[in-house]
């Protein structure tokens, strides 16, 4: 019999670990002195401890190990568990490799520019949603603002407040043509409302599909200043080997006040490929 200290030395582990495994029922001492509570381990228990380490190395949680050790799992289930583990570990590797690429892109950027310039661009997924909007091709930002004002008035007086989401503008053109902007102007909504007629078209609901990888950043100020944010995203995207797709979105974070366009806060969203 070995005391916990002796056993911990031959096993190259801490006594704390052995007490922890005792408590979890992973590795009970061969005998415990009833008077003093001293734990005594048999030399042969080292083998079980090694098996525990093998399973831990494979990525199993401690709680999952006792049934595996005590042969209460048939080979097929075990195979399933191992494949589950394989999948999880492969995912972890993918995530960490992406992280590594991000870090290296930032280091390169630091060497290039001396600071982290596009440091508020994140990538996330956007769920499918319902958009209640009108699609028009306009020749200027000012023209767009006029339509935007009309849409706001029409929608806010018609759609109940708790069904109403954010104001959004989708730009459908693959390339940027300042005098022919193919825009969709409206609001995200919960339930699809009935269409509303405007002078020159309909505000109608439609489903916009989920976007899996969407680069997102925040812009402050009127739409004329979009290109500043766009440039940040472009730099970000280029450094990581993506390409920007369409439609891009401008989603208004705070309710838009047409009287003070310079205080607008807009989330610019760029689908990536």
Per-residue mark of binding to DNA, 169-208 (x: CB under 7 A)? ----------------------------------------
- Is 12 a binding residue for its own copies by CB under 8 A? The answer is yes
Distance between CA atoms of 163 and 141, rounded to whole angstroms?
28
Least distance CB 22 / DNA (angstroms): 8
Name the binder of 4 from DNA, its own copies, none, CB < 5-8 A by kind. Answer: DNA
CB 219, CB 161: distance < 8 Å:
no
Query: 133 near 187, Cβ under 8 Å?
Result: yes
Q: Return the residues of window 65-94 that contact its own copies according to CB under 8 A.
A: 75, 78-79, 82-83, 85-86, 89-90, 92-93
Question: Judged by CB, which is closer to DNA: 164, or 268?
Answer: 164
* Helix 226-239 with 75-113: angle, nearest 10 deg: 120
CB of 58 to its own copies, least distance (A): 6
Which residues, 6 or more positions from 245, have their beta carbon under 8 angstroms from its beta carbon? Answer: 174, 270, 271, 272, 273
The C-alpha angle with vertex 152 and arms to 146 and 158, in degrees rounded to 5, equals 140
The DSSP 8-state label assigned to residue 194 in this structure reads P
Which CB sits closer to its own copies, 138 or 244?
244
Q: Which stretch binds DNA (CB under 7 A): 29-37, 133-141, 150-158, 172-180?
A: 29-37
DSSP run (H or E) holding 51: helix 45-57
Rounded CA-CA distance 256/264 in Å is: 6
Give the SS3 label for residue 199.
coil
In the complex, least distance from residue 136 CB atom to its own copies, rounded to whole angstroms? 25
Nearer to DNA, 63 or 191 (CB): 63
Out of 34, 36, 44, 175, point to the residue binding DNA (CB under 7 A).
36
The Cα–Cα gap between 30 and 40 comes to 6
> CA–CA distance from 43 to each of 5, 8, 10, 66, 71 (Å)?
13, 11, 9, 20, 21
| Cross-strand pairs, 2 | 41
Residue 243 contacts its own copies per CB under 8 A: no
Residue 56 interacting with DNA (CB under 7 A):
yes
Contact residues: DNA, CB under 7 A: 3-6, 14-17, 19-21, 33, 35-39, 56, 61-63, 160-162
Contact residues: its own copies, CB under 8 A: 2, 10, 12, 42-44, 46-48, 50-51, 53-55, 57-59, 75, 78-79, 82-83, 85-86, 89-90, 92-93, 96-97, 99-100, 102-104, 106-107, 110-111, 114-116, 119-122, 124, 166, 216-218, 220, 251, 253-254, 265, 267
């Amino acid at each position: 019999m070995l005391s916990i200290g002796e056993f911990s030395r031959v096993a190259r582990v801490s006594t704390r670990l052995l007490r922890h495994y005792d408590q979890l029922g992973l590795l009970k001492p061969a005998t415990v002195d009833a008077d003093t509570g001293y734990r005594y381990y048999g030399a042969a228990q080292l083998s079980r401890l090694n098996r525990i380490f093998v399973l831990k190395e494979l990525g199993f949680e401690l709680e999952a190990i006792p049934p595996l050790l005590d042969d209460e799992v048939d080979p097929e289930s075990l195979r399933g568990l191992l494949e589950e583990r394989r999948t999880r570990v492969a995912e972890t590797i993918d995530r960490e490799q992406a992280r590594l690429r991000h870090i290296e892109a930032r280091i390169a950027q630091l060497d290039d520019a001396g600071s982290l310039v596009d440091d508020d661009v994140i990538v996330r997924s956007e769920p499918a949603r319902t958009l209640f909007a009108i699609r028009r091709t306009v020749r200027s930002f000012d023209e767009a603002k006029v339509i935007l004002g009309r849409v706001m008035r029409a929608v806010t007086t018609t759609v109940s407040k708790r069904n109403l989401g954010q104001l959004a503008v989708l730009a459908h053109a693959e390339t940027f043509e300042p005098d022919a902007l193919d825009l969709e102007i409206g609001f995200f909504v919960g339930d699809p409302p009935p269409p509303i007629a405007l002078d020159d078209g309909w505000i109608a609901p439609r489903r916009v599909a989920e976007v899996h990888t969407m680069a997102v950043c925040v812009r402050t100020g009127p739409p004329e200043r979009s290109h500043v944010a766009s440039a940040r995203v472009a730099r970000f995207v280029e450094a990581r080997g993506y390409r920007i797709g369409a439609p891009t979105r401008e989603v208004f974070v705070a309710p838009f006040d047409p009287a003070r366009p310079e205080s607008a806060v807009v989330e610019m969203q760029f689908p990536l490929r």
